Structure 1
Amino acid sequence: MDINGSISKLYRQVKMMLGIGKVTGLSDSGVIQRVQYATAMEVRGDTPRMAEFGFSSGLPAGTDVVLGFLGGDRSSAVVIASNHQSYRHAGLNAGETVIYNQWGMYVKLTKDGIIVEANGQPVTVNNATTLKATATESVTLDTPRLYVTGDIIDNSGSNAVTLKQLRDAYNEHTHQVAEVESGSSTVTSKTTGNPVE
């Protein structure tokens, strides 16, 4: 048995187990994401990319990837880590976490609170049966206009009347006008001339 030959073969396989490449293409259909990558020696497509459960991202072209070659076989690669130098969200403090994209949007968990940066784009929450925000001090909506398609109830723990019902009651209410004619006659005013819409 050639011990030196076996050790040399094992050494070559270990050296071939990891590599670095750059993403040149992406397919995110099917049961696993697949990328095309380029190294100094080759361009290879249909390479599976492993990621943590519950998190997925589409790697932009030019993303650096760490490649694991199963059994040291260059034809059996798996992407096991990635980083894009141009888009990486830098400046985190110890303990902070961020999810981000290449367009400057991010959600950042910091020691002092959570920051959602939409970078001038819309934020949408879909198909929630209820949406609840609990704040111990206040909620501020800094917006030129607030749109609500349904009814609004304030003091909801003790009040069941909607703002629409209050608006309708105001628009329909009248006042008795005392002693506007000779004698002691009393008349009823018309409804308000300035209804609340």
Structure 2
Amino acid sequence: MDANRFGRMIGPFVRSLRGMVARAVVRMVNDGPKMQELQVGLLADELADGVERFQNYGFTSHPHPGAEGVAVFVGGDRAHGVVIAVDDRRYRLAALQPGEVAIYTDEGDAIHLMRDRTVRVTTLHLQVQAEEDVTMATKRFDVTATESATFSTPAFTSRGVGNADSAARFEGGLHATDTITTDADVQAGSVSLRGHVHPENDGGGPTSPPVGG
């Protein structure tokens, strides 16, 4: 068998192999179906519509037009393809350290799992919606709010951990719009609310402590 005849015989197989994988550019996205569908550009004049995009379970995204992907065509049939990966070099969070992982958007939001077991969340508005409860356990908890911090709750409790007493410190003024109740004494400087005395106006001697003190 000569080379020309052999080439003609295997030609269809070679073309099928070459057509099994292609670089794709996202043109349109249909995120309504249960399996996301893309319109992608393949070759210069080849457009594939309704191509299903397979994503990892638990992760989903809606890519912008212009994102790039890898299209696979089973058996080399260009009419039946799937997209198995989509990336976007315009917005990818770059310069990560080896082993780091990040989730990102084109607006600059990111969840960055960094080295030294540090997780950084970058965004403008962070919302946590937990219908039952939120539990946090840590050694230190620090909040910096440059404008204000508001707690809207019918009850607020501070407890010590282990055998330690709970202590609250306010550096600045404190304004209460309702009754302040304490089971212990209140002290302003060196003056005790329960035990303070002051000179009498008539005799100059000290008064008795306040009634109920």
2:83 aligned residue (53, 66, 79): 79
What letter corresponds to residue 107 of structure 1 in structure 2?
Answer: I
1:115 and 1:6 mapped to 2: Cα distance? 58
Contact 2:97 2:115 in 1 (8 A): no
Q: State the SS of the aligned residue for 2:10.
A: helix
Segments of 5+ residues of structure 1 without an aligned counterpart are 190-197
Instruction: Specify the alignment match of 1:168 in structure 2.
Output: 180
1:43 and 1:143 mapped to 2: Cα distance? 51
Contact 2:74 2:81 in 1 (8 A): yes
Instruction: Specify the alignment match of 2:14 in structure 1.
Output: 11
Compute the displacement of 1:186 (Å): 6.2
Instruction: Specify the alignment match of 2:143 in structure 1.
Output: 141
Contact 1:66 1:80 in 2 (8 A): yes
Q: Is 1:130 equivalent to 2:133 in the alignment?
A: yes
2:119 aligned residue (114, 119, 125): 114
What letter corresponds to residue 123 of structure 1 in structure 2?
Answer: L
CA RMSD of aligned residues (A): 3.1
What letter corresponds to residue 63 of structure 2 in structure 1?
Answer: L
1:175 and 1:17 mapped to 2: Cα distance? 87
Compute the displacement of 1:177 (Å): 7.6
Segments of 5+ residues of structure 2 without an aligned counterpart are 167-175, 187-192
The structure with the largest alpha-carbon Rg is 2
What letter corresponds to residue 91 of structure 2 in structure 1?
Answer: Y
Q: State the SS of the aligned residue for 1:107.
A: strand
Q: State the SS of the aligned residue for 2:181.
A: helix
Instruction: Specify the alignment match of 1:57 in structure 2.
Output: 61
2:30 aligned residue (17, 27, 34): 27
Instruction: Specify the alignment match of 2:171 in structure 1.
Output: none
Compute the displacement of 1:84 (Å): 1.1
Contact 1:180 1:186 in 2 (8 A): no
What's the CA shift string for 1:22-63, capped at 9, x where partnerless?
Answer: 111111112111111123122222111011111111111100
What's the CA shift string for 1:159-193, capped at 9, x where partnerless?
Answer: 89xxx9x96316xx98688674657986969xxxx
1:25 and 1:100 mapped to 2: Cα distance? 20
Contact 2:39 2:47 in 1 (8 A): yes
Contact 1:16 1:72 in 2 (8 A): yes
Larger CA deviation: 140-149 vs 151-160? 151-160
